[in-house]
Amino acid sequence: MRVVRGQVWLAAVAAGLVLGFASMSSASEKGKQLYVKHGCWQCHGFVGQGGIAGPALVPEVMPYEAMLNFVRTSNRAMPPYKVEILSDADMKDIHAYLVALPKPADPKSIKLLNP
């Protein structure tokens, strides 16, 4: 009985992992972790929505090259991230994460906003 219960629990965890990861590609999933690790969320919010300290990065995500250039050379309120701290490949994953975030609904499609 004990063993069976353990197996059911494990199966549930495995299913949860599969379903959870299925919604995002592995690049954007890794990018999400890097976005958190490098503290982008502290100023830009967990889903890039922007905050008091930093502007929104979504829903119009700038092209990867432009974002990389900005992050490397930022010289105003945002600290620059040198390649020794954040590699080009990791920045690409962060970009993939932002691109993969679901877009907000068109306000015209929300009935309550269009009486």
* C-alpha distances in Å from residue 12, one per residue of 6, 7, 29, 75: 10, 9, 21, 48
Cis upstream peptide for 107 (omega within 30°):
no
Residue 85 has φ and ψ, to the nearest 5°, of: -95, -40
d(CA 1, CA 54): 53
Question: Is 51 near ligand HEC (CB under 6 A)?
Answer: no
What single letter denotes the amino acid at residue 44?
Answer: H
Question: Is 24 near ligand HEC (CB under 6 A)?
Answer: no
**Cβ atoms of 81 and 38 closer than 8 Å:** yes
The nearest distance, CB 60 to ligand HEC, in angstroms, is 8
Question: Is 78 near ligand HEC (CB under 6 A)?
Answer: yes
Q: Which position among 28, 40, 45, 96 is part of the footprint of ligand HEC (CB under 6 A)?
A: 40
Whichever of 23 and 69 has its CB closer to ligand HEC, that residue is 69
Q: Which position among 76, 103, 108, 111 is part of the footprint of ligand HEC (CB under 6 A)?
A: 76
**Contact set with ligand HEC (CB under 6 A):** 38-40, 42-44, 53-55, 57, 62, 67, 70-71, 74, 76-79, 81, 86, 94
